[in-house]
Structures are given as structure tokens and as C-alpha cells.
Homo-oligomer: A and B are copies of this chain.
Amino acid sequence: MKKVINDPANVVEETIEGFLAAYKDQFRKVDDVNGVVRRDHKEKVAVVTGGGSGHEPLFIGLLGEGLADGVTLGNVFAAPNPYNIQEVAKAADKGKGVLFVYGNYSGDILNFDMATELLELEGIECRTVRVTDDVASAPADRKTDRRGIAGDVFVVKIAGAASETGLSLEEVTRITQKANDHTFSIGVGLTPGSIPGAAEPPYTLGDDEMEVGLGIHGEPGVKRTKLLPADELTDNLMDTLLKESGITAGDEVCVLVNGLGSTTLMELFIVNRRVTKILEEKGIRAYDIDVNSYCTTQEMGGFSITLLKLDDELKAYYDAPAISPYYKKLEKKPVKATQ
């Protein structure tokens, strides 16, 4: 795979440099480690997210008002080390404690937990919400084993909104955990992405194949099938997603149709067309819909669908403004009649 890079060993450092070259007025690098924090967040619970690099704009693109205050970045598809996490948390901390929000992967768990121990020795209180939105990654009775994928976006969004209101660490944690418990995703892979410097792609698929439930690092999915037309594929994914989530008539959801890298926005719109039709047919209200590529796997082909089941509390935080270079929610304008 052709990549526009220099030394593959330096991609994360150079990514951060290139990000800060564009947005240095808003963010600064954390000394010594691959981490970035906001310059101007107020005295509040600090929301720190992160994980392996290679999923851009996640996580670095979620820094901003009403979102994350700090990001800690590992190498491509590798968890950040405890020192990295610790330094970012210290740089983001405003004396009100730190909430870590990250995808539920064993390397991340190990390192964030170790950092938490070290930080608490230093007197910084930490809490954790692990994102577990991928319904294809474990059955419902092992929900805490599920992986985090594009649902990170909704969970970080709610965490950031809750923390901006000045709530306590306990309250921000409770609301963020609830956001995670209400967030459900399923993905499909069509073509593998490639890791900078790696000779081989992380997995292979036939020219006419796709893999339902594939993880964002190429983890095995639940079913490998022939490529289906967009509508039929979307029907299948939504069937699983609605069954696993228990979302049903009368519920209200936010939707994210997320591209994995090389799947075009045109294709994502075509998927969204079907997603919204299905929701309408089922009597589920789409409160807000976002179609974008926030959580990628390098240039992997494929997409995921995420539903966030709203209640009044989550809706209020969802509606709060969020302003990062790659994710912006402005104050909602009154909706006009549909023509």
C-alpha cells in the first residue's frame, strides 16, 4: 500500500506536529509524550480520551469545547503507555478529577488502569468509562467484553457536554457510563487498510467478499459473505443492531453512519437513506443524524452504523455545543417543516 509518509517509525509524532501546525492556537503538545491538551478549558472535570493511532480523526480530532480536554496517543493500533496517559491526564487536570473514556481493548485497559493507580498516588482522582458499543464483538450477556468502535464519538461528546456544565466527577462518570450503555454499533469491512511500514494488510478478503462485524483493527467479525447491495446489507445490519440494542417503536435515537476510511461519502449517504427509512418504518424517531468518517482504520473500506438511544438527560447533553476541528455541533436551530 502506498502511503504519504516519511519514516514509518515517526508517523504519530509527525501527525501530532501536523495537527498542531494547523490548530496550535487551540491546543498544545504535552511535553515528552504523544499527547495533546486544550489550551483553554475551564476548571471542570477533565475528559481524557485516546488509544492507538491510525483511526484519525479519532482521537485527536475530538479535542475541543464540549468534547475531550486531552488525548493520549499510542502507536498505530497500539495502546498508549501508562506514562503517556499519566502525563496527559496531569496536563489536562484542573483539580476536579479526570475521566478517562476509551475503547474497551485489553492493552488500553491495562495501561489506563496502571496510569490511574499512579495518578491517584499523586492525588489526582480518576474514573473510567470503557466504550463497548460493538454489538458484533460479544454476545449481550458479555456486554462488558464488547469492543469500542465509532460509538466513541457519542460517548466522548456526552462526557464533554456533562463536564462543561461543572458537574462532579461522579456525576460526569455516571452520565458518560449511561451514554455508553445506550450506544450500539455494528460495522462491516470490505477492503483492509494497511499499517504504515507493515508489509501485509491486517487481514484479507476475497474480491467479492465482505465481513460483517469486523473490528476496527481487523478483528474477526461474525460472518463473511458475498458483497451485498447497499440496501440489503443495511437491512441486515439494522436487523442485528435493533435486536441487540432493544431499540424499538417510540424510541428516539441519534444516528452515526461512519466510514472506515476509503468508503466514500456517496456510499455513506446511500446507506443513511436506508437507515432512516428503516427507522421510520419501525416508528423510531431519528433525532439527529450524522454521516461522516470519524473513526477510521487507515484506508479500510467499510462502514459502521451507530445508534444512541436518547432519554431527556442524554438529549440535553447531546444538544450542547461541541466544537473541535473535526466534530462540530452548533446550537440547534428550530426545525422547519419538511417539504
Which residues does A use to contact B, with CB under 8 Å?
2-6, 11, 14-19, 21-25, 28, 39-40, 53-54, 56-57, 61, 190-191, 196, 207-208, 210, 227, 229-231, 233, 261-277, 286, 289-292, 296, 298-299, 301, 303, 323, 326, 328, 330, 333, 335-336, 338-339
User: A271 is contacted by which of B4, B274, B328, B335 (Cβ under 8 Å)?
Assistant: B4
CB of A336 within 8 A of CB of B4, answer no
- Report chain B residues within 8 Å CB of A53: 266
- Report chain B residues within 8 Å CB of A24: 338
Min CB gap A9→B, angstroms: 13
- Report chain B residues within 8 Å CB of A291: 18-19, 22
Which 5 residue pairs of A and B lie closest in terms of their CB atoms, listed nearest first? A18-B269, A18-B273, A262-B262, A56-B265, A21-B276
User: A18 is contacted by which of B40, B54, B272, B339 (Cβ under 8 Å)?
Assistant: B272
In the complex, the chain B residue whose C-beta lies closest to that of A289 is: B22
CB of B267 within 8 A of CB of A264, answer no
CB of B4 within 8 A of CB of A303, answer yes
CB of A270 within 8 A of CB of B190, answer no
Number of this chain's copies in the assembly equals 2
- Report chain B residues within 8 Å CB of A272: 18-19, 21-22
In the complex, the chain B residue whose C-beta lies closest to that of A321 is: B330
Q: In the complex where A39-B336, A339-B28 touch, is A190 in contact with B4 (Cβ < 8 A)?
A: yes
CB of A264 within 8 A of CB of B56, answer yes
CB of B11 within 8 A of CB of A266, answer yes
Whole-angstrom CA separation of A272 from B5 in the bound complex: 11
CB of B328 within 8 A of CB of A270, answer no
In the complex, the chain B residue whose C-beta lies closest to that of A10 is: B270
Whole-angstrom CA separation of A54 from B270 in the bound complex: 13
